[in-house]
Chain A
Amino acid sequence: MSKPKLRMPKSFRRKSKGEIALHIFVSFIFFLVAASYVYVFLWAVVAGTKTHTEIVINPFSLPQEWHWEHFLDVFSLLEVNGKNFWDMLFNSIYFSVGAVGLQHIVTMSFAYCCTKYKFPGSEWPYVIILIMLTLPLYGSGGASYRIYKALGMVDSYSHILSALSGFSMNFLYYRACFKSMSWSYAEAAMMDGADDFVIYGKVMMPMAKPIFGALFLTGWLGIWNNYESALIYLPNIPTLPVGIYQFNTEMVYRARLDILFAACVIISIPAIVLFIAFNRVITTNVSLGGIKG
């Protein structure tokens, strides 16, 4: 009696030539895409060590002399209205971490209340946000500026309080997240004597940590790179992107592309380091077309 043949699972089977070719082709495409990003970064690093003239005359050549000191010059040359690199770094951290943190804590709490507690109007925020997203209010900048100005939040560190709003796209993510969480965890906690705040703080919030982390990182990245709002609302509290923007604008009248590229490299480092450190948090919680609950 012959032994029955063991059939290997499909994933363990040897790939056909076609599959291997496809695999190589797809990998090659991915490699090209990844290489294009890495190339741009490396090009900027090399450009930062060249002279302005070399960048203009021979943009793709290696420098005749490596000027690594340009990366140090950034700290003294990057200045906006008397604010130096370190002032701008502080402002960037303050507004990017603070505003995004505040916004997410408020939005998460808001979404939790509207999702898990039924009260008249608990569904209204969802509807309002959907309308807001479908019908964006163009031209609201002037009105916003006047409101913030009246509240003393223009050109002030208190501008961070403008993040205290739960009405945003993130509400939908948190809502979906809490909707998918079973209420039986809360019921079990209640039987152990937990009140509403304890349930939220000790049971529900920890379960929402992955999505919080993913949204926080992507939100932080957006604010870290945002110079438009800071230019309008914080003219005397420049952030690093504003510094780079101003420096870039000055390039219309100033021949220091070397310093510009060195500065771009320096300010992109935090984002790159954070992405490398937390890429699993982002990639495992972000699926195609949305964020996993």
Chain B
Amino acid sequence: MRNMKKVTAFFLVTVMTLSLAACGGTGGDKKKDDYNGGKEVEISYWNSGMGTEFLDEMCKAFNAKQSDWYVYFNATAAGNAVTATYPLEDVDTIDLYMSGEVPDISKKATLDDVLDSTADGDKKTIREKFDASHLESEVAADGHYYSLTWGGGALAIVYNKKLFDKVGIKETPRTTDELAVVCDKLMENGITPLTHYMNDAGTYWDYIQEVWQAQYDGMDYYRNNFYACKDEAGNSPSKDVLTKKDGRYQVLKAMEQFITPEYVLPGSNSQDHITMQTKFLNEDIGMMVNGSWLSNEMEGTGSVDNFGVMKTPVLSSITDKLSTVKNDALLRKLISAIDAVADGKEEISKYQSGDGYVVDGKQISAADWDIVKAARNMVAVNYPQQTLFIPSYSDAVEGAKEFLKFFYSDEGYKIFVDNIHYTLPMKLSEGEIDRSDWNGFEIEMDDVFQKAETCVSRHMKSCHDIFNNGGAKPYAGYKFVAMFCASNASDRMTADQAWDYIVEQIEGNYKNWLANIK
């Protein structure tokens, strides 16, 4: 009994003492060895496969450069947890969020002044360093910038070079019809042509679909009509825009050819992307849509050196929009010519003839050349999905902005690139990125991105609110990829059935989407 009493007393005293001692300060020992005496700037960081090393190094470099601000970060891989405190203005201590998309701009500080600043040692403003087509996706409907990208990457079809060599595929597919032919060839040789992952949010095909839609409809219509939900007469929002049989229908028709139960690895519709990527890198699978981050995510699980990256094939039905190219064979030859010119292998003068061009002995109009060239040079990106922003109520807005100026300076950007091995949609103010220690996959992926002329992403900040907050989605959220390759025949749908279903969903939900944005 005496022992029990002693143990209880000791226990209580210990706990009380520790608790009271701890009352004076927080347990999170945020200030590390490099504390510079500056005012704290707290970052909430979403660790979405890029690791924390680059940010750690960047914070240390910034803290060493000046003593007015001290930047530190908390990292989590749980995307929702990163911004959980954002709306709680009175209790939120975060000064800079590096997170996913947060459409609500009401409590975000503008970053226009950051974009127009020039970092110490740089020769260009941050705005000038950014890719112009990317900035178009970051600008909000009111013309201001409230967020900028800090991560994400480019997406393209990644292929297994060894398997392509094995079956004698010399050239990556240039059109979607040719992609189906490549799938056939792989299949004939006992190789599973495709795999993908799928979760509630969708699949990486979603990004390639956007490129194909933009290729068919043209970037102008895609950005200023479809995502502005504005019809030709200027009415916005317009249901007709959403139900119009546009590039999305052509995407369905194209994908129906190669997203089939025979071509797609069983299980692709139900497994996460790390699992499917592991299988892709270690089993006999021909292709998978993937992004710049593949190498980082899969470090240590298999070499990515044998994997190549292809430019996104052009939607074969683009010939509907062309006057002088009416078949896929000629379209492929035209694309080869455009690629050869872009890669500097041939002079454009070789093809020029009068007002137009001659490819494979066929006359091509200048307009057709330009349409196909624009389509071929589009790249899918998800940079606008990983954005940083400063809450306007933060008491360290200036400190956070100073850090951002460093982040996008040549010095900061080099830290980023050296750690991550892929680039943001921006250039150094002078000089080139050193890629000497990058692997083959990283270089190919970066080449595909750097040589592209237009970044395509549906995650545009300026798109109509019916998409941002209303709930509208291009395909009404219908996972047709899963339906096209469903192993159960009764679940399978054709492109036409899928389109009818999508239109039905749009008709049924349109009023709700409008109500959501009122």
Contacts and interface: CB of A to CB of B under 8 A. Distances in A.
B144 interface: no
B5 interface: yes
Interface in A36-64: 51-53, 56-57
A236 interface: yes
Contact of B91 (A51, A145, A161): A145
B18 interface: yes
Given A249-B77, A256-B300, 8 more contacts: A52-B301, A101-B15, A102-B15, A160-B18, A250-B47, A253-B47, A254-B297, A255-B274
B508 interface: no
Contacts of A236: 26-30, 74
Interface string A252-286: 11111000000000000000000000000000000
Nearest to A203: B1
A190 to B, nearest CB: 17
Interface string B308-351: 00000000000000000000000000000000000000000000
Contact of A53 (B74, B78, B282): B282
Interface residues of B, number: 48
Contacts of A140: none
A157 interface: yes
- For the complex of A and B, list the 5 residue pairs with the smallest distance between their C-beta atoms, beginning with the closest: A236-B28, A157-B22, A253-B49, A237-B27, A249-B77
A255 B297 contact: yes
Nearest to A235: B74
A146 B49 CA distance: 32
A52 B275 CA distance: 9
Interface of A: 51-53, 56-57, 81-82, 91, 94, 98, 101-102, 105, 145-146, 149, 152, 155-158, 160-161, 201-202, 205-206, 209, 231, 234-237, 246, 249-256
10 contacts: A82-B29, A149-B91, A156-B26, A157-B27, A158-B23, A234-B27, A249-B78, A253-B47, A253-B274, A254-B274
A53 B23 contact: no
Given A252-B274, A254-B274, A255-B301, A160 B19 contact: yes
B28 A246 contact: no
Contacts of B515: none
Interface of B: 1, 4-5, 8, 11-12, 15, 18-23, 25-30, 32, 47-50, 74-78, 81, 91, 272-275, 277-279, 281-283, 293, 297-302
Contacts of A52: 278, 300-301
A146 B91 contact: yes
Nearest to A247: B77
B421 to A, nearest CB: 15
Nearest to B84: A232
Contacts of A82: 29, 32
B58 to A, nearest CB: 16
Nearest to A94: B18
A255 B300 contact: yes
Contacts, number: 115
Given A52-B278, A53-B301, A155-B27, A246 B1 contact: no
A253 B199 CA distance: 14
B419 to A, nearest CB: 15
Contact of A201 (B5, B282, B293, B299): B5
Contacts of A152: 23
Nearest to B49: A253
Given A56-B278, A156-B27, A250 B298 contact: no
Contact of B283 (A57, A81, A249): A57
Nearest to B302: A53
B4 A206 contact: yes
Nearest to B47: A250
A206 B75 CA distance: 47
B189 to A, nearest CB: 21
Contacts of B49: 252-254
A156 B25 contact: yes
A201 B6 CA distance: 11
A161 B278 CA distance: 46
Nearest to A161: B19
Contacts of B23: 152, 156, 158
A193 B32 CA distance: 58
A94 B302 CA distance: 41
Contacts of A202: 1, 5
B28 A81 contact: yes
